[in-house]
Amino acid sequence: MPLGFDDDHERFMRLFLAHEPEILRGVLVFDGAVMAVAAAGNGGFPHQLTAGTAARFSPDQPQPTKIDFRLERFVRRLPRDAGIEIADHDFPFNRPTVEEAAVFPVAQPIVVDGAVADWSGDGRFRGERGAGRFLEGRMRYDAEYLYVAAQIGDPAPMRNVVDPATDGEFGWRGGGLQIRVAADPALGWPVNANAAPYYQMRELPVDAAHIAQATNPALAHLTLWHFASAAQNCLHIAYGMDLHDAVVNPPGYRGAFRQDADGSGYTLEYAIPWNLLNAPRAPRPGDTLAMSWTVHWSGEGGRLWQGQWVEIGNAAEPLRIYTWERAATWGRAVFH
């Protein structure tokens, strides 16, 4: 463990590592052939993988699932990107500068092309981490979509090599934007819902009401990233604080990325249907939804996480809680 992490973080890492064996594993064959045999008692037949093929394996499935053969999923050059330096015990937390973001109705049709010339400056918010890293965001809405636009300062822009076909849940590692939103106005603000590690790390009891709050499908976690290897603008969505029913690149959304001409960052623009967020209806003027934005940065290779910045946050919540584990840390999106 890096120095400077407190007991809660050490407990979290032990819990994470305890679950690590459950993560699905894959094999990519560069040369020759590999014979894969299911674990004893699983009932699977031997399966041969030849050069230029790849497959993913799961403990509960006797036969592998074929996946795309993509070399960029593995480190192909040495030395690899340098890791991040833990300068103090507050990393990676920051105090958001914005608690409430204004969301305005669409005034004219929005073309999702990665250019924001058709957006006014209304509702713009900004946070800076320094060293050329910043986040500037805006939002709009209509009866069908939540529109988001972000200008992101990034020394290594649009390098993300996380493949949505195999590792969509980890899209943030290569750089991009995560948005968390409680899409049902009836949930109010702040939203009382926590992920299982929140209770585990603090040794708190959990009852049926806590579980119902945590598994509410109107709590949506979105990851937006540009898969550089295929020039693909991706969207991963999971629901509830337990991140259930996750989908990758579902039909209906539109997304675009555009790199700055000077290479200092990029702009992204997305239109996300309300039905993908499990919203019972489109927001109306006066509605408030709990929401938080997190921008992630990566290294030159687009695979090694280099830190984050959170904006739109609840100032009353302690800093040292991750937004994915406690919805009460999310700020407010107020619809006009």
User: What whole-number distance in Å separates Cα of residue 123 and Cα of residue 121?
Assistant: 6
Q: How wide is the angle at C-alpha 195 spanned by C-alphas 189 and 196, nearest 5°?
A: 145
44 and 135 in one domain?
A: no
CATH assignment of the domain containing 281:
2.60.40.1190
271: nearest Cα among 98, 80, 110, 59: 110
Kindly state the percentage of the chain with pLDDT values over 70. 82
148 and 260 in one domain?
A: yes
Tell whether the model's pLDDT for residue 325 goes beyond 70.
yes
Q: Is residue 2 part of a domain?
A: no
237: nearest Cα among 308, 189, 171: 171
Q: Is residue 13 part of a domain?
A: no
206 and 58 in one domain?
A: no
| Structure confidence by residue, pLDDT tens digits, 50-85 | 888 888 777 666 677 787 777 666 666 666 666 665
Please tell me the total count of domains within the chain: 2
Q: Is residue 82 part of a domain?
A: no
248 and 121 in one domain?
A: yes
Q: Is residue 239 part of a domain?
A: yes
Beta bridge partners of residue 271, listed in sequence order: 147, 254
114 and 56 in one domain?
A: no
Return the residue matching tokens 């940065």.
Answer: 297
41: pLDDT confidence band, cut at 50, 70 and 90? low
The residue-averaged pLDDT of 307-319 equals 96
43 and 112 in one domain?
A: no
Model-level pTM?
0.81
Taking the CA atoms of residue 129, residue 110, residue 185 and residue 250 in that order, the dihedral angle to the nearest 10 degrees is -90
169 and 271 in one domain?
A: yes
Q: What domain range includes position 268?
A: 100-335
Q: Is residue 9 part of a domain?
A: no
Q: How wide is the angle at C-alpha 302 spanned by C-alphas 153 and 8, nearest 5°?
A: 85
Q: Is residue 90 part of a domain?
A: no
Q: Is residue 86 part of a domain?
A: no
Cβ-proximal residues to 131 (8 Å cutoff; 6+ apart), any chain: 155
Strands 254-259 and 265-273, by their bridges, are antiparallel
Check residue 266 and give its pLDDT.
98
Cβ-proximal residues to 254 (8 Å cutoff; 6+ apart), any chain: 112, 270, 271
Q: Is residue 289 part of a domain?
A: yes
